């Protein structure tokens, strides 16, 4: 059997999901199969790398051991609560356990309607399938906790979006698909028994140490808060804007999930937003920390009935845990950005130096990724021209570069450590929006070469790739992508 399934979620009470098979598609063809990931997960990649594999990864054929379910969840979307969301176009086929014991979900996305589809068709257009493949794998290569891409399949069917467009099925791998919204599902229904079942399951799967704590549910809350605080700082280190941080898009595992209207910034601006539906900038770059805290507050609220029998005490415990978010997030963010300018174990003065650089980048409309990667080059060749030319306004950056050099030279006469650190923190290659769009547009025309090429380049984002230098570049003015779409 291609997947050595070992399913646990399907053993939970029926209230957690609906049992439903994927709906077949017309003519599935494999676009890309992630051989490395399959090998890591003990999946029989040879069997999947065949017409049978395309049938399996489109939902046309169920394999041995698969117990397909659509998971139930609720969620706050742009601040408003929807009690009834759930997998409207996704089906969990089952779970596999990696050699190190970490359990992973294998999920199809775009696999047809489920009892949670509401008015949706249960399908995915090809574009979002390709986008999620590219961006989630890029995130993994950049070292960010994330759901992964196992496969992208063209369905051979058309879906109705803005007109009729080709459809696809995406196979997502996650340490689990339990979201804050999954807890909200039971909390909204005042189903405290199942809430407890879910919390115990999440502890066993994602934070086994919490089981030994005085209050395991508080330990679960603290663990999720810490993971999300660090995850969001990690996104920000790389200029990533998630775009749709609804509570149903925030995992308990601490993995990034849902690559809809997401984007990596080109030119830096702290309140940049890409999502075409985020009119108020709720999920803007610099608002991601506060929104993470807001979402975790919703998570804490779901846990109140099991945190403590005394409701007042439960609130006090939740508040204590939530209060840790700001410091963890700020300290992680500061550490990351100070390291991006080549300093380990920085001080408040170094954080001010970072702020000054970001202000100069905002005013000078400088490209986030190019600027940070130009810093080690400037040190190595003792010449600032390569940095300064990235800025429209050059006075502030020139002044900044001399303060920065003074700071570094005061610490150490040997700049090699700073250079190595910066090369580790600052990637050369990110999934630039215009490149992602280019790969999607070609894919719609049946040409997947740009999609494959982009995926290959993004596998080693921190290494020089002289043959792919064009993927480093910022977009030209007519290539700039200003808005991204959910494209469901």
- Closest to Mg ion by CB, 258 vs 317, is 258
Positions of E strands within 88-226: 90-97, 103-109, 124-125, 148-161, 163-174
- Closest to ligand AMP by CB, 294 vs 462, is 294
- Closest to ligand AMP by CB, 40 vs 121, is 121
SS3 87: coil
121 binds ligand AMP (CB under 6 A): yes
Applying the rule CB under 6 A, the residues between 393 and 452 that interact with ligand AMP are none
- Closest to ligand AMP by CB, 77 vs 215, is 77
- Closest to ligand AMP by CB, 88 vs 305, is 88
Question: In the block, which residue shows the tokens 């080059």?
Answer: 377
In whole angstroms, the minimum distance from the beta carbon of 419 to Mg ion comes to 40
How many chain residues are in contact with ligand AMP, going by CB under 6 A? 17
In whole angstroms, the minimum distance from the beta carbon of 77 to Mg ion comes to 9
Segment lying near ligand AMP (by CB under 6 A), choices 97-105, 113-121, 279-287, 461-469: 113-121
**Backbone region of residue 110 per phi and psi (left: phi > 0; alpha: psi in -120 to 50; beta: other values):** left
Angle in degrees, CA 244, 159, 22, rounded to 5: 80
| Cα–Cα distance, 317 to 315 (Å, whole number) | 5
Residue with CB nearest ligand AMP?
A: 120
Q: Give the one entry of Mg ion, ligand AMP, none that residue 53 binds, where binding means its C-beta sits below a cut-off of 5 to 8 angstroms depending on kind.
A: none
Applying the rule CB under 6 A, the residues between 240 and 259 that interact with ligand AMP are 248-249, 258
Residue ranges of the alpha helices (H) in 142-287?
Answer: 180-188, 192-206, 216-237
Contact 57, 133 (CB under 8 A): no
486 binds ligand AMP (CB under 6 A): yes
Positions of E strands within 17-117: 17-19, 29-33, 69-71, 75-77, 80-82, 90-97, 103-109
Closest CA to 251 of 144, 175, 333, 148: 175
Closest CA to 175 of 150, 209, 149, 147: 147
- H or E stretch at 67: none
Catalytic residues: 248
Name which position in 2, 28, 122, 127 contacts ligand AMP (CB under 6 A).
Answer: 122
Q: Give the one entry of Mg ion, ligand AMP, none that residue 117 binds, where binding means its C-beta sits below a cut-off of 5 to 8 angstroms depending on kind.
A: ligand AMP
Q: Give the one entry of ligand AMP, Mg ion, none that residue 486 binds, where binding means its C-beta sits below a cut-off of 5 to 8 angstroms depending on kind.
A: ligand AMP
Contact 142, 427 (CB under 8 A): yes
Applying the rule CB under 6 A, the residues between 39 and 98 that interact with ligand AMP are 85-89
Question: Could you give the dihedral angle defined by the CA atoms of residues 249, 281, 163 and 488, in that order, rounded to the nearest 10 degrees?
Answer: 0
Question: What are the structure tokens assigned to 324, written together?
Answer: 């840790």
In whole angstroms, the minimum distance from the beta carbon of 260 to Mg ion comes to 7
In whole angstroms, the minimum distance from the beta carbon of 234 to ligand AMP comes to 21
Residue with CB nearest Mg ion?
A: 258
In whole angstroms, the minimum distance from the beta carbon of 413 to Mg ion comes to 51
Question: Could you give the dihedral angle defined by the CA atoms of residues 130, 131, 133 and 137, in that order, rounded to the nearest 10 degrees?
Answer: 150
Name which position in 260, 342, 376, 487 contacts ligand AMP (CB under 6 A).
Answer: 260
- Closest to Mg ion by CB, 295 vs 369, is 295
Cα dihedral across residues 249, 255, 260, 264: positive or negative: positive
- Closest to Mg ion by CB, 226 vs 258, is 258
222 binds ligand AMP (CB under 6 A): no
Instruction: List residues near Mg ion by CB under 5 A.
Output: 249, 258
Which residues contact ligand AMP (rule: CB under 6 A)?
85-89, 116-117, 120-123, 248-249, 258, 260, 486, 488
């Amino acid at each position: 059997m291609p997947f050595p399934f070992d399913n646990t979620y399907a053993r939970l009470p029926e209230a957690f999901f609906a049992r439903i098979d994927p709906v077949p598609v017309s003519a599935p063809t494999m676009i890309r199969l992630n051989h490395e990931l399959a090998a890591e997960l003990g999946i029989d990649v040879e069997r999947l790398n065949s017409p049978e594999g395309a049938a399996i990864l489109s939902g046309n054929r169920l394999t041995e051991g698969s117990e397909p379910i659509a998971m139930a969840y609720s969620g706050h979307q742009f601040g408003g609560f929807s009690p009834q969301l759930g997998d409207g176009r996704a089906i969990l086929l089952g779970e596999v356990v990696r050699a190190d014991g970490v359990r992973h979900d294998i999920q199809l996305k775009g696999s047809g309607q489920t009892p949670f589809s509401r008015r949706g068709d249960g399908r995915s257009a090809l574009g979002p399938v390709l986008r999620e493949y590219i961006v989630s794998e890029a995130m993994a290569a950049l070292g960010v906790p994330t759901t992964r891409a196992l496969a992208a399949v063209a369905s051979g069917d058309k879906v109705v979006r803005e007109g009729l467009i080709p459809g696809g099925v995406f196979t997502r791998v996650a340490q689990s698909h339990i979201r804050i919204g999954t807890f909200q599902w039971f909390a909204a229904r005042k189903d405290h028994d199942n809430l407890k079942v879910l919390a115990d399951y999440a502890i066993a799967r994602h934070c086994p140490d919490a089981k030994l704590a005085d209050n395991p549910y508080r330990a679960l809350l603290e663990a999720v808060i810490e993971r999300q605080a660090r995850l969001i700082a990690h996104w920000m280190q790389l200029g990533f804007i998630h775009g749709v941080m609804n509570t149903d898009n925030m995992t308990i595992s601490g993995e990034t999930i849902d690559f809809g209207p997401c984007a990596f910034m080109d030119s830096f601006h702290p309140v940049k937003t890409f999502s075409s539906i985020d009119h108020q900038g709720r999920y803007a770059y610099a608002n991601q920390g506060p929104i993470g805290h807001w979402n975790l507050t919703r998570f804490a609220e779901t846990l109140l009935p099991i945190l403590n029998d005394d409701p007042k005490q439960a609130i006090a415990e939740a508040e204590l845990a939530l209060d840790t978010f700001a410091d963890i997030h700020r300290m992680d963010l500061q550490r990351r950005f100070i390291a991006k300018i080549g300093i380990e174990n920085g001080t408040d003065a170094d954080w001010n130096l970072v702020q000054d650089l970001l202000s100069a980048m905002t005013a000078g409309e400088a490209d986030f990724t190019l600027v940070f990667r130009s810093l080690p080059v400037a040190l190595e060749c003792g010449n600032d021209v390569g940095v300064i030319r990235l800025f429209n306004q050059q006075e502030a950056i020139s002044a900044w570069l001399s303060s920065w050099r003074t700071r570094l030279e005061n610490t150490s006469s040997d700049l090699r450590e700073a250079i190595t650190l910066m090369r580790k923190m600052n990637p050369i290659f990110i999934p630039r929006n215009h490149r992602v769009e280019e790969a999607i547009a070609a894919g719609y025309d049946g040409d997947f070469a740009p999609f494959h090429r982009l995926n290959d380049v993004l596998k080693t984002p921190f290494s020089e790739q002289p043959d792919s230098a064009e993927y480093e570049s910022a977009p030209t003015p007519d290539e700039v992508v200003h808005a991204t779409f959910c494209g469901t």
